[in-house]
Amino acid sequence: MKAMVLNQLCSLQENATPLESAALSDPTPAEGELLVRVSACGVCHTELDEIEGRTPPPRLPVVLGHQVVGTVEATGGGATRFQTGDRVGVAWIFSACGTCKFCRSGDENLCAEFKATGRDAHGGYAEYMTVPENFAHPIPGIFSDSQAAPLLCAGAIGYRSLRLADLEDGGTLGLTGFGASAHIVLKMVRHRYPGTDVHVFARSEKEREFARVLGAVWAGDTTDEPPAKLDSIIDTTPAWKPVVEALGNLEPGGRLVINAIRKEEIDKDYLLSLDYPTHLWMEKEIKSVANVARRDVSEFLQLAAEMQLEPEVQEFALQEANQALLELKMGKIRGAKVLKID
């Protein structure tokens, strides 16, 4: 099969082609697994973290990609949930132990044996991949393959973030950063909480303009002061500065949800400006988002179909994966980037 493979960690500033085209053996599904013929795979900022060593894969080489849509090509022994030809999706959560207290409560994203698609196991930057059948999701027919791909990460993690934000209709929500996940959150809020005003903080004027088009009542730079204090803010950036700024923009008792797998060291000194009375006092809360659980993916796919959500996507061929990653690194973002695999 054709695949784009990461053989070594590197900086995209020094190496604009970190992935190499390779011909790999077709994988074979083990007991309880599916063989999926991949048709589309979303490109995520987390892949930049893997390539540049901030969230390194445990072993190399590895096939990246955790927003995978395809059809079941074959099933391993004992796999009965899906039939050959069924369309399925695979998200960041590839597997978990299934027996710990977190798995039993439906929060297998917190499991110590959590494994990530495209990091701990080969992902969707390839023509085929395997996945445990219990971690595959049926894709609603309303979506094309490219539309469905970003829903599996940007959408699902946005859904979990919104749930953790504890938002009530009629309140105020801030979104810091306005990439693939945040633009889907804004659409969800308009559907589920139509009385809620959404404020967007973004560095790029193009992103701010996009947010206004989608229904944000206000959009400004990260350091701009919104017209009112906010009940909840969801941060989707890889930096510390927006965290400190967001805390200063919260109402008393407000909650900041940090939807990021890591924070860069480059602006860590900004934490020195953290002032307890300004940023933390009055019972403000900080909640981090750790991966996604299966229920986040399945519930969000149902909600997305109900609201006929249409994510903005840019399509690239599989061999153009490096170009898509480089554009993501450079901040050339409008919606989500998706690899189409023929």
Instruction: Give 106-128 pLDDT, tens digit per residue.
Output: 999 999 999 999 999 999 999 99
Name, in order, each residue with C-beta under 8 angstroms of 90's C-beta and a sequence gap of 6 or more.
Answer: 36, 66, 68, 70, 117, 123, 124, 129, 131, 135, 136, 137, 152
122 and 193 belong to one structural domain: no
pLDDT of amino acid 45? 87
**136-138 and 87-90 as β-strands: parallel, antiparallel, unpaired?**
antiparallel
128 and 52 belong to one structural domain: yes
Report the percentage of the chain scoring pLDDT > 70: 99
Mind listing the pLDDT tens digit for each residue in 228-277? Answer: 999 999 999 989 999 999 999 999 999 999 998 878 778 888 888 889 99
Residue 46 and residue 319: Cα distance in Å, rounded?
A: 19
Residue 272 and residue 136: Cα distance in Å, rounded?
A: 43
pLDDT of amino acid 158? 92
70 and 108 belong to one structural domain: yes
Residue 186: inside a domain: yes
Residue 167: inside a domain: yes
Secondary structure of 117-140 as H, E, C letters: ECCCECCCCECEEEEEHHHEEECC
Write the CATH number for 246: 3.40.50.720
pTM of the model: 0.89
104 and 135 belong to one structural domain: yes
86 and 33 belong to one structural domain: yes
Residue 293: inside a domain: no
pLDDT of amino acid 184? 87
244 and 218 belong to one structural domain: yes
Mean pLDDT of 186-193: 93
HSE-CB for 243 with a 13 A CA cutoff: 25
Residue 144: inside a domain: no
pLDDT of amino acid 270? 84
In terms of pLDDT, which residue wins out, 100 or 54? 100
pLDDT of amino acid 334? 67
Residue 304: inside a domain: no
Tell whether the model's pLDDT for residue 11 goes beyond 70.
Answer: yes
7 and 132 belong to one structural domain: yes
Answer for the pair 336, 150: CB distance below 8 angstroms, yes or no.
yes
Answer for the pair 89, 297: CB distance below 8 angstroms, yes or no.
yes
Write the CATH number for 29: 3.90.180.10
Tell whether the model's pLDDT for residue 288 goes beyond 80.
Answer: yes
Range of the domain at 121: 2-139+312-340
Residue 111: inside a domain: yes
Tell whether the model's pLDDT for residue 332 goes beyond 80.
Answer: no
161 and 133 belong to one structural domain: no
259 and 132 belong to one structural domain: no
263 and 328 belong to one structural domain: no
Mind listing the pLDDT tens digit for each residue in 121-164? Answer: 999 999 999 999 999 999 999 999 999 999 999 889 999 999 99
pLDDT of amino acid 133? 98
Calculated CA dihedral for residues 342, 74, 90, 21, nearest 10 degrees: -40
Residue 24: inside a domain: yes
Both tokens assigned to 337: 């980037």
pLDDT of amino acid 52? 94
Question: Using CB atoms within 10 A of its CB, is residue 57 exposed (0-12), middle (13-18) or buried (19+)?
Answer: buried
Out of 75-89, 192-206, 247-261, 269-283, pick the least confident: 269-283
316 and 282 belong to one structural domain: no
How many structural domains compose the chain? 2
Tell whether the model's pLDDT for residue 8 goes beyond 70.
Answer: yes
Binned at pLDDT 50, 70 and 90, residue 180 comes out as confident
173 and 127 belong to one structural domain: no
Residue 162: inside a domain: yes
CB atoms under 10 Å from CB of 58, counted, come to: 10
pLDDT of amino acid 7? 97
